[in-house]
Structure formats: C-alpha cells, structure tokens
Amino acid sequence: MSLTGKIAFVAGASRGIGATVAAALAREGAAVAVAARSEQEGKVPGTIYSVAERITAEGGRALPVVCDVTSEESVENAVTATVSEFGGIDILVANAGVLWLGPIESTPLRRWQLCLNVNLTGVFLVTKAVIPHVRARGGGSLIAITTTGVEMIDHGANAYWVSKAGVERLYLGLAADLKDDNIAVNCLSPSRVVLTEGWQAGGGGLQVPPEMVEPPEAMANAVVRLAMQDASGVTGTIQRSEALTF
Ligand code: NAP
C-alpha cells in the first residue's frame, strides 16, 4: 500500500467528500484522523464515529477527533490528539466547508461570515496547526479543497467562491514558504459536481444534469495521488480531480 506508515488529518470527514477521502487514504495504508464536529446524527447523516468505524471495519486505522475548524483551541486539541495517538502528521486534507451560493445583495452578513470563517479561516487554522508536525516528519503534503467556481467570474459573485479564492491565494503562496521544508502545498477541486449531503442542502435546489455529476471517488483518487508525494513532486498548483496535471 502506497501510504503505509503515513498519518493523515482529514478536516471535514464526517460525511461527503471528506468521508470518502478518509476511507481511501486508510485503504492505501495511512492512519487517518477523522476530524469534524458531528458526534451524533443530526439533520444530515454522518458522524466522526460512524466514518471511523467504517474504516476500522475495513481493516484500516482511524481516530475520530472532534474538531471545529473555526476554533483555534478545538483545532489544536484535535491535532494534539492525532499526534499523541499516531505519532505525527504527514498529510493534511483541509476539506471542511459550507456552501452559500446566493447573490451578494441577498446574502445575510452571518452567511458571509460563516463562509469565510469555515472555508478560509478554517483552512488557515488547520494548516497553521499541522505545519510544525509535518515539518518534523521531514516533509509531506497539504491539500486544500477548493472549487472551479473561483474561475467563473462570468457567473457573478458569492460568499462561497470568494472564500475559496482566498484559500487558493493562501496555498499558492504557502507552497513557496514551505518548499525548503519539503512540504507540498496544493489545491484540489472536483472537476464537476459531487452530489453530497452538503451540496443537496446548500445547492439551492439547483438541478445538475447527469453529465455534470462526478462520483466522490474521483476526489478520493486525486487526494491519494497528491498525498503520496512531497515538495520534490508537484507543489503550488491548483488541481482538478478528473484532470490532474502531474
Ligand atoms: P458536505 O457533505 O457538506 O461535508 C462538509 C464537511 O465539512 C462535513 O464533514 C462537515 O462536518 C464539515 N464541516 C463543516 N463545518 C465545519 C466546521 N466548522 N468544523 C469542522 N468541520 C466542518 O460537503 P462536501 O460536498 O463533501 O464538500 C467537501 C468540500 O468540497 C468542501 O470544502 C466543499 O466546498 C468542497 N467542494 C464540493 C463540491 C461538490 O460538488 N460537492 C464542489 C467543489 C468543492 P460537521 O458538520 O460534522 O462539522
């Protein structure tokens, strides 16, 4: 298995793309921290425990860790718990996200702030917390999940795309900062739409034609490929799941 001996921290792993990614990393031999807020089933299915149990039942190694990416204390506790259990961190998948596609004029301030807090500040906090641990391992791979919407300026503006644009700027610059530490820093997004629980709840009832739908496994396979390498490979790039350029 290609990731045997590696340790991955997947933020936003209680359902959707993050849950599929966590399982795929474990199948490749990585020990995986399944990080998110949900400890009990709520309106949307999936908890850190159910995802971790599924991985363990398949013979993988998983640690459920409670983590709210908008809280520095919560992130630090989750990272500390991961390092105590597994001995370090080699791979970060900064996947936690919330969707809000409404136009600016009808966007309540609290929605704007939620998008920026989870999608941008959340990536900042988890990235900041894991960097010393990845550096201590002699290198690794940081992957932030963004969206093709960043490029769609002919489709207007919304809080979600703005927050993801910030992440891409953060990660592209961070790649330069961490090159000498042998840490690869890349962004990855689905090429099309993954019909996850989050998309169904936040997509505003938008109908997605079947040819625009992508299985979550495409993201899982792309994450595994990015996770397998360090800064001697590809770094400072924005990748699309179905069209990797390396
Ligand atoms: P999802 O089904 O809604 O899952 C979102 C995940 O983020 C959940 O595990 C959720 O866990 C977690 N999360 C939300 N707020 C959090 C917080 N404050 N702290 C920690 N975790 C938090 O969404 P998805 O469709 O799988 O999307 C995953 C990522 O892919 C997101 O970043 C999204 O923007 C991006 N993306 C998705 C698509 C798509 O087509 N689906 C396209 C482009 C990009 P808890 O609620 O348990 O905390």
Q: Do 33 and 59 meet the contact criterion of CB atoms below 8 Å apart?
A: no
Ligand 1 atom closest to the Cα of residue 96 is: 7
**pLDDT at residue number 66:** 98
User: Ligand 1 pocket, 166 CB below 6 A?
Assistant: no
One-letter amino acid for residue 160 of the chain: Y
- Number of other CB atoms surrounding residue 195 within 10 Å: 16
176-190 pLDDT, tens digit each: 999 999 999 999 999
User: Ligand 1 pocket, 95 CB below 6 A?
Assistant: yes
**pLDDT at residue number 198:** 80
How crowded is the C-beta side of 183, counted as CA atoms within 13 Å? 26
Ligand 1 atom closest to the Cα of residue 193 is: 40
How far does the centroid of ligand 1 lie from the alpha carbon of residue 199, in Å? 9
143-194 pLDDT, tens digit each: 999 999 999 999 999 999 999 999 999 999 999 999 999 999 999 999 999 9
74-133 pLDDT, tens digit each: 999 999 999 999 999 999 999 999 999 999 999 999 999 999 999 999 999 999 999 999
Distance CA 165, CA 162 (A): 5
Q: Which two tokens stand for residue 215?
A: 């299985």
User: Ligand 1 pocket, 117 CB below 6 A?
Assistant: no
Residues sharing a CB contact under 8 Å with residue 169, sequence separation 6 or more, in sequence order: none
